Amino acid sequence: MTSDDRRPADDPWTPDAPAPGDAHAPARPRRRGLFVAALIIFAIGVVFTIAAALTPFVLDRDAPTILYLGAMFFTPVGFLLGLAYAILGSRPPRV
């Protein structure tokens, strides 16, 4: 945007600032808490998956069951939370 694109303040066609309760007021930014939670939980699941895959090479024995259970729980839950965030974020804001 350049200074030529700005309209003068006394221009009758320049819209006024919207009122706080106005439907056309700029939307507040959505909370990112669900996205951050999904990202963290999914990352924990990925760490469990990598640990379960590398354990046989590092310890020369099978991986403990807790690694498989953690991978089977955290990864899909994080994915589903991310999916829920994407679906909820695609809805238009309430008017």
Q: What is the DSSP string of 48-62?
A: HHHHHHHHHHHHSSP
Report if pTM > 0.75. Answer: no
Q: What is the pLDDT of residue 82?
A: 94
Q: What is the pLDDT of residue 3?
A: 60
CA distances from 47 to 31, 52, 55, 57, 59 (A): 26, 9, 12, 16, 17
For residues 15 and 94, give the distance between their C-alpha atoms in angstroms, rounded to a whole number: 23
Mean pLDDT by 10 residues, the chain (95 residues): 62 63 58 91 97 94 95 97 90 70
Q: What is the pLDDT of residue 44?
A: 98
